């Protein structure tokens, strides 16, 4: 019994003598989105494009926070990056695509198979 109390006293002494600065550090702090993707996701995913898949930012953030990142801020940064590369590319001209005219639609529907031949 004295050995157990002696070991407990040593353990308590060690725990109280640790400096207050020996706290957990966030190794992902100050990393931007591409760096976080490279450190966290690139082992399994070749590209970040399409990983957000149009998900709501809150659900993606929560999923990343629970499973892949070390803090809420890191999950937020990674969420913003994944959603930024998930947006569809804009057209180069900035104008909407022209709609098909009625004549083009009519000419496309004018092509029909021949009528069946009925017996005489």
Q: What is the pLDDT of residues 55-88, one digit of tens each?
A: 898 999 999 999 888 888 989 999 999 999 886 6
Residue 105 in this model has a pLDDT that exceeds 70: no
What's residue 102's pLDDT? Answer: 56
Residue 108 in this model has a pLDDT that exceeds 60: no
Indicate the helix (H) or strand (E) that contains 79: helix 72-86
Task: Tell me the C-alpha distance between 18 and 22, whole Å.
Answer: 7
Give CA angle at 78 (76, 84), nearest 5°.
100
CB 49 within 8 A of CB 86: yes
Give pLDDT tens digits for 9-62: 777 777 776 665 555 566 667 788 899 888 888 889 888 888 888 889 899 999
**Best CA proximity match to 50, nearest among 91, 88, 77, 76:** 88
């Amino acid at each position: 019994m004295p050995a157990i109390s002696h070991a407990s006293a040593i353990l308590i002494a060690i725990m109280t003598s640790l400096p207050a600065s020996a706290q957990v550090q966030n190794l992902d702090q100050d990393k931007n989105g591409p760096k976080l993707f490279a450190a966290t996701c690139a082992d399994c995913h070749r590209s970040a494009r399409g990983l957000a898949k149009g998900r709501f930012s809150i659900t993606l953030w929560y999923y990343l926070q629970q499973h892949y990142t070390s803090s809420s801020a890191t999950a937020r940064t990674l969420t913003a990056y994944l959603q930024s590369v998930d947006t569809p590319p804009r057209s180069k001209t900035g104008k909407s695509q022209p709609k098909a005219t009625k004549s083009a639609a009519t000419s496309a529907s004018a092509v029909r198979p021949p009528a069946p031949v009925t017996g005489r």
